[in-house]
């Protein structure tokens, strides 16, 4: 809070500078350094300094002379002048800041409040050389002389973010696991996928429609083909269409997007061709209703009430229309199978439908239905990745608990290692400062006398 107030005051100072003459009355910060921030693409420079002697605590009620620091930057390579807002035309060709630097005309590239000794400039270009300067600021229009950075800095792009090495290791592990499972599946190895009731029931639902002499209705959601749920829904549609072709059942697909209609038509036609029933394919059964959410819902409801399909599939992205559709189909006695990754709609589908594919099951449908080794291997590999993530969560929770409740040095170090190195960006080597902090803390605790005892 203290820093925020300071920052506001510093900004106020910067604003008032534009209208009043600056006075050099504050002591400047010292030891200004600038260095390239490591492990980035060359767009950040870290500027550090030692606080001005005027940056100290004051008794309560007294005004503070130093309110913050302003940071200035100059492109050293071209010497085009200070690269700040309202750039001043001062010694354009000179490298470095002029002795008669005009605080009124030059906007700093950033400012921080008193007490702070760091600033990260995130607006630099890789390969350009910069010089930085810092000035202390106070009220009214008080400045210190500019304190120049001792060295120029040229930020550079790095190809590897060493701090994220753990991320690379985990990603490579999961990738290797996926490749291994794909290889295993391609060689005829058995990859077991647990039965997914909703997909097993596809034949049952289409069979029911055939026995009852009624159509099958497939609703591919209300979003366009660029939504991953719609794509997953179309995958299931291929299987439903294949079964409908085998059973010679009538399949109807009303869509809310024209591109979805086109995709659905091609998918269904391919399925009928694959089953040797091109004659049974009728493209008029796959049609566009409207893009409007409730217009589409009303249209599908109308189809349900008029034609009383015996099986309804809802596979894709759904919003408020989910329960309306499911309840309508339930009232006409249809078997309903839903699949969506919309968490808010899942409870409605579960309650109103016979079978529901939940989130991941929906996306696994393609591998499950096709039995394609590559897809099954990928599915299994992703599962291993999830197991690793879950294991890390459990281990992290246990270590965090132990770190807080005990004085076990190993748990405390492991906790910061997981949070800072594995999940953070500290790289492979643990932060020596933090380890030292832990050691110091433990040593302090060890030296403190135990409470609760004593003479009675």
Contact residues for another protein, defined by CB under 8 A: 195, 197-198, 200-201, 203-205, 207-208, 210-214, 246-248, 333-335, 346-347, 350-356, 358
Nearer Cβ to another protein, position 156 or 211?
211
> Would you say 195 or 453 has its CB closer to another protein?
195
Give the shortest CB-350-to-another protein separation in angstroms: 5
H or E, element range at 197? helix 197-200
In 11-39, which positions are buried (b, 16+ CB within 10 angstroms) versus exposed (e)? bebbeebeeeebeeebbbbeebebebbee
Say how many C-beta atoms besides its own lie within 10 A of residue 432's C-beta: 8
Q: At what angle do helices 228-247 and 202-212 cross, to 10 degrees?
A: 50
Minimum gap (Å) between residue 317 Cβ and another protein: 19
Residues contacting residue 285 through CB under 8 Å, at least 6 positions apart: 250, 251, 252, 253
Beta carbon nearer to another protein, 26 or 240: 240
Select 185 or 329, whichever has its Cβ closest to another protein: 329
* Consecutive H or E run containing 169: helix 165-186
Nearer to another protein, 212 or 392 (CB): 212
Q: Which two tokens stand for residue 271?
A: 């399925």
Contacts of 231 (CB under 8 A, 6+ apart): 225
Looking at the Cβ atoms of 158 and 327, the one nearer to another protein is 327
Q: Using the minimum distance from each CB to another protein, give the nearer residue, 179 or 351.
A: 351
Task: Please report how close the Cβ of residue 389 comes to another protein at its closest, in angstroms.
Answer: 20
Q: How far is the CB of 308 from another protein (least distance, A)?
A: 11
**Roughly how many angstroms between the first and final C-alpha of the chain, as a whole number?**
46
- Report residue 46 as tokens: 């870290």
Residues 109, 121: contact at Cβ < 8 Å? Answer: yes
CA 389 to CA 392: how far, in whole Å?
A: 5
CB of 244 to another protein, least distance (A): 11
Give the nearest distance from C-beta 333 to another protein in angstroms.
Answer: 6
CB of 201 to another protein, least distance (A): 5
């Amino acid at each position: 809070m203290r820093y925020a107030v300071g920052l506001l005051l510093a900004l106020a100072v910067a604003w008032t500078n534009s209208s009043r003459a600056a006075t050099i009355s504050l002591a400047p910060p010292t030891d200004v350094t600038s260095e390239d921030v490591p492990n980035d693409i060359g767009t950040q420079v870290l500027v550090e300094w030692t606080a001005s002697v005027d940056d100290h605590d004051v008794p309560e009620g007294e005004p503070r002379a130093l309110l913050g620091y302003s940071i200035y930057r100059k492109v050293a390579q071209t010497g085009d002048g200070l690269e700040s807002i309202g750039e001043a035309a001062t010694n354009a060709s000179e490298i470095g800041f002029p002795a008669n630097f005009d605080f009124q005309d030059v906007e700093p590239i950033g400012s921080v409040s008193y007490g702070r000794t760091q600033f990260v400039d995130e607006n630099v270009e890789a390969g350009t050389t910069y010089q930085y300067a810092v000035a202390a600021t106070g009220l009214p229009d008080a400045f210190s002389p500019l304190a120049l950075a001792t060295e120029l800095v040229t930020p550079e792009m790095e190809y590897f973010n060493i701090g994220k090495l753990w991320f690379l290791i985990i990603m490579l592990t999961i990738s290797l696991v996926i490749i291994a499972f794909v290889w295993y599946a391609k060689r005829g190895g058995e990859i077991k996928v647990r039965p997914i009731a909703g997909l097993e029931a596809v034949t049952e639902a289409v069979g029911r429609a055939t026995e009852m002499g009624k159509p099958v209705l497939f609703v591919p959601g209300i979003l366009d083909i660029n939504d991953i749920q719609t794509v997953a829904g179309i995958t299931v549609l291929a299987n439903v269409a294949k079964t409908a072709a085998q059973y010679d059942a009538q399949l109807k697909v009303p869509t809310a997007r024209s591109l979805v209609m086109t995709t659905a038509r091609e998918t269904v036609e391919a399925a009928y061709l694959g089953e040797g029933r091109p004659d049974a394919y009728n493209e008029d059964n796959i049609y566009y209703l409207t893009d409007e959410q409730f217009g589409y819902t009303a249209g599908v409801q109308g189809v349900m009430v008029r034609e009383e399909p015996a099986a309804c599939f809802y596979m894709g992205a759904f919003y408020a229309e989910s329960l309306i559709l499911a309840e309508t189909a339930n009232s006409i006695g249809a078997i309903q199978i839903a699949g969506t990754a919309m968490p808010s709609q899942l409870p409605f589908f579960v309650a109103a439908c016979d079978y529901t594919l939940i989130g991941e099951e929906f996306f696994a449908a393609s591998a499950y239905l096709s039995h394609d080794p590559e897809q099954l291997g990928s599915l299994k590999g992703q599962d291993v990745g999830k197991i690793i993530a879950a294991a890390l969560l459990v281990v992290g929770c246990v270590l965090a608990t132990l770190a807080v409740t005990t004085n076990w040095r190993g748990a405390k170090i492991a906790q910061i290692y997981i949070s800072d190195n594995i999940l953070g960006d500290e790289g492979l080597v643990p932060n020596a400062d933090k380890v030292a902090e832990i050691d110091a803390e433990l040593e302090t605790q060890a030296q403190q006398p135990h409470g609760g005892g004593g003479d009675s």
